[in-house]
Amino acid sequence: MGALDMNSMTGYGRGSAENELGTVTAELKSVNSRFLEINMRSDHFSAFLEEKASRKIKSALHRGKVTVFLSFQPTSAGRNLKVVLDKDLLAAYAAALSEGRCMKGLKNRKPSISDLLTLPEPFIHVEKETLSDDALAPLVEEAMDRALAELTAMRAKEGENLKGDLEKRLDFLKEKRAFLLSRQDEAAKAYEERLHDRIHKILDDKNLAMDEGRILEEVALFSEKADYTEEVVRFGSHLDQFRQILESSEPSGRKLDFLLQEINREVNTTASKASDTLVVDCVIIIKTELEKIREQVQNIE
């Protein structure tokens, strides 16, 4: 994987390996998960071989719920079937039947194969020798390598699409942050104008002079109380960190999720401080976009 790869946790991979014994097939499916979870299903493979397959996954993936299915289709050589004839039992049957032919009241004919096969204790046994782990291990490893290559390629492709989408959303949030910054001074000016007009109307009605100094004090208090500059600066810092993490080759899903929580906290504080409907409306738009980003981040490894 390249230095700038971002991986999704969703993917599928299938790989096979064969030799004179048969074919091992590995199928892998992965979906979102906070941690790496492996659900192993196999067609009569030993615990040793299942663990070998699990180690392959652990060395390649960091997060995701991975379902694994291993199967083996043997060739005639790999079936290891052996038909065993119990000669002693068959000889005993033959002797007993020969003796029975001499008994009065019985039909005098030689027993057929069908007669022998209906006898209570079978004299032919089929034995199947299980293939050793050493014989199957190379096939399991090769099949897993191919399946993992396909799975990781799909996860990388999906991750590339996620990254492109997130970068566009970050650009959108950057524009909204710029609006919040620009609106900070305008909100104070708007408050000053409203306060000035209100006091001027009250004093005019009573023929009193306006104390401009007092008005400026009130505006200063308002500006200090409604100042969300610190929150918006941290908001910008978090956006920069988010973009840097997108360019990292390390698994980044948890870091991005944490940053989203921090950004959400900053914009909530901004809305609570501001007494400006335009700022509150902007925060609502930002929070809606953050939720869309969060849904995307849930799928990043």
Q: Environment class of residue 110 by beta-carbon count within 10 Å: exposed (0-12), middle (13-18) or buried (19+)? A: exposed
In this structure, the answer to whether residues 146 and 162 fall within a common structural domain is no
The string of pLDDT tens digits covering residues 125-138 is: 665 667 789 989 99
83 compared with 61, residue with greater pLDDT: 61
* Domain annotation covers residue 2: no
pLDDT at 225: 62
In this structure, the answer to whether residues 31 and 117 fall within a common structural domain is no
* Domain annotation covers residue 67: yes
Question: How much is the average pLDDT of 140-167?
Answer: 96
In this structure, the answer to whether residues 36 and 107 fall within a common structural domain is no
* Domain annotation covers residue 4: no
Residue with tokens 């002693």: 88
Tokens at 286, concatenated: 């930002």
In this structure, the answer to whether residues 188 and 136 fall within a common structural domain is no
212 compared with 12, residue with greater pLDDT: 12
* Domain annotation covers residue 226: yes
Give yes or no for residue 34 having a pLDDT over 70. yes
Number of domains in the chain: 3
pLDDT at 190: 63
In this structure, the answer to whether residues 67 and 118 fall within a common structural domain is no
Q: CB neighbours (10 Å) of residue 274?
A: 22
* Domain annotation covers residue 5: no
In this structure, the answer to whether residues 172 and 121 fall within a common structural domain is no
Give yes or no for residue 238 having a pLDDT over 90. yes
Residue with tokens 């007494």: 275
pLDDT at 214: 61
Average pLDDT score over the chain: 83
Reported as a pLDDT band with limits 50, 70 and 90, residue 4 is: very low
pLDDT at 206: 58
What residues contact 187, with CB distance under 8 A and at least 6 apart? 226, 274, 275, 276, 279
Query: What is the rounded distance in angstroms from the CA atom of residue 219 to the CA atom of residue 257?
Result: 38
Reported as a pLDDT band with limits 50, 70 and 90, residue 115 is: low
Reported as a pLDDT band with limits 50, 70 and 90, residue 151 is: very high
In this structure, the answer to whether residues 56 and 165 fall within a common structural domain is no
* Domain annotation covers residue 115: yes
Give yes or no for residue 114 having a pLDDT over 90. no
In this structure, the answer to whether residues 196 and 246 fall within a common structural domain is yes
In this structure, the answer to whether residues 107 and 238 fall within a common structural domain is no
Reported as a pLDDT band with limits 50, 70 and 90, residue 263 is: very high
In this structure, the answer to whether residues 196 and 288 fall within a common structural domain is yes
User: Percentage of residues in the chain with pLDDT exceeding 90?
Assistant: 53
* Domain annotation covers residue 235: yes
Reported as a pLDDT band with limits 50, 70 and 90, residue 77 is: low
Question: How much is the average pLDDT of 270-299?
Answer: 92
User: Percentage of residues in the chain with pLDDT exceeding 70?
Assistant: 74
For residue 144, the domain's CATH number is 3.30.230.10
Reported as a pLDDT band with limits 50, 70 and 90, residue 1 is: very low
21 compared with 99, residue with greater pLDDT: 21
* Domain annotation covers residue 1: no
In this structure, the answer to whether residues 29 and 148 fall within a common structural domain is yes
State the pTM of this model: 0.69
By residue count, the chain amounts to 301
Name the CA dihedral angle for 157, 163, 166, 170, rounded to a multiple of 10 degrees.
-160
The string of pLDDT tens digits covering residues 266-280 is: 999 998 887 788 999
Q: 145: domain range?
A: 11-77+132-156
In this structure, the answer to whether residues 115 and 164 fall within a common structural domain is no
The string of pLDDT tens digits covering residues 180-211 is: 988 876 766 665 566 555 655 655 555 555 55
Number of helices (H), then strands (E), in the chain: 9, 6
